[in-house]
């Protein structure tokens, strides 16, 4: 992901999440030396993005978002695969993330890569209030 794409990414954020990251938050995360961000394009349009923080030997995935017109065509899988590939190439021992307990599609995507539930974060999300499943994949 480049800074030039951040405004488009912010648009995807606002369409995908009840509490989206702001443009300034995205730019700060992108500038963070621990940040690892990828975008995906389909038919020339920005279709989605994924990001994580690489801290010591663990990747903390903070967002995976695919714009509605591009769902169910492999964009999310390609983005998660890019993060997994980065993790393998950079000696990470695990990847971890939170997902809304009701987001069955995202949970199925992550489980397909080998993520397993490691815990529950009660009332982690707002708008609406909901638990998060803590998912982890050992590498």
Write down the pTM of the prediction. Answer: 0.95
Percent of the chain with pLDDT over 90: 97
Can you read off the two tokens belonging to residue 51?
Answer: 């990001």
Q: What are phi and psi of 82, to 5 degrees?
A: -65, -40
Q: Break the chain into its structural domains and give their ranges.
A: 3-138
Phi-psi region of 84 (alpha: psi -120 to 50; beta: other; left: phi over 0): alpha
The predicted-structure confidence for 1-58, as pLDDT tens digits, reads as follows: 999 999 999 999 999 999 999 999 999 999 999 999 999 999 899 999 999 999 999 9
Q: In what order do the strands lie in the sheet with 45-55?
A: 35-42, 45-55, 58-66, 94-100, 130-138, 116-125
Can you read off the two tokens belonging to residue 86?
Answer: 């980065």
Residues identified as active-site: 98, 110
CATH superfamily of 3-138: Gcn5-related N-acetyltransferase (GNAT) (3.40.630.30)
């Amino acid at each position: 992901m480049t800074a030039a794409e951040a405004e488009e990414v912010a648009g995807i954020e606002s369409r995908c999440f009840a509490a989206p990251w702001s443009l300034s938050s995205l730019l700060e995360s992108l500038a963070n030396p621990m940040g690892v961000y990828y975008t995906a394009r389909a038919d020339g349009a920005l279709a989605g993005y994924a990001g994580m923080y690489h801290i010591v030997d663990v990747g903390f995935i903070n967002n995976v978002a695919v714009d509605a017109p591009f769902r169910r065509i492999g964009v999310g899988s390609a983005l998660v695969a890019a993060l997994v590939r980065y993790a393998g190439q950079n000696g990470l021992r695990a990847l971890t993330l939170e997902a809304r307990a009701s987001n069955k599609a995202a949970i199925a995507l992550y489980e397909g890569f080998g993520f397993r539930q490691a815990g529950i974060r009660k009332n982690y999300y707002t708008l609406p209030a909901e638990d998060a499943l803590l998912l982890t994949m050992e590498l």
